[in-house]
């Protein structure tokens, strides 16, 4: 059993080849794969607390509106859930 090839050795080689092809193309922008992409695309709405704290009202408004649409709720509910975190000191 200890001499058996680990399955990750095969998939790592495939993944390396795919990522090198992307790098060679020098496509504009950033590409996320795996857990990094999942973390970015399913980020918690708690980052809105930072926007509220930063007093960037226009950006806070647009992001809260987008979160409300995704979750079929009102902007008021989204902001109310994040307001206590915005008032907490780091």
Whether the CB-CB separation of 12 and 20 falls below 8 Å is answered with: no
pTM of structure: 0.53
Instruction: Give tens-digit pLDDT for 11-31.
Output: 888 888 877 876 776 656 666
Show the low-confidence residues of the chain (pLDDT under 50): none
Chain position carrying tokens 């999942």: 38
DSSP state of 5: P
Tell me the C-alpha distance between 20 and 31, whole Å. Answer: 12
């Amino acid at each position: 059993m200890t001499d058996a090839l680990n399955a990750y050795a095969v998939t790592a080689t495939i993944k390396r080849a795919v990522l090198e092809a992307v790098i060679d193309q020098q496509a504009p922008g950033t590409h996320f794969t795996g857990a990094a992409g999942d973390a970015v695309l399913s980020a918690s709405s708690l980052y809105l607390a930072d926007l509220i704290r930063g007093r960037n009202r226009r950006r806070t408004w647009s992001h809260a509106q987008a979160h409300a649409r995704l979750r079929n709720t009102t902007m008021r509910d989204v902001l109310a859930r994040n307001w206590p975190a915005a008032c907490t000191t780091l």
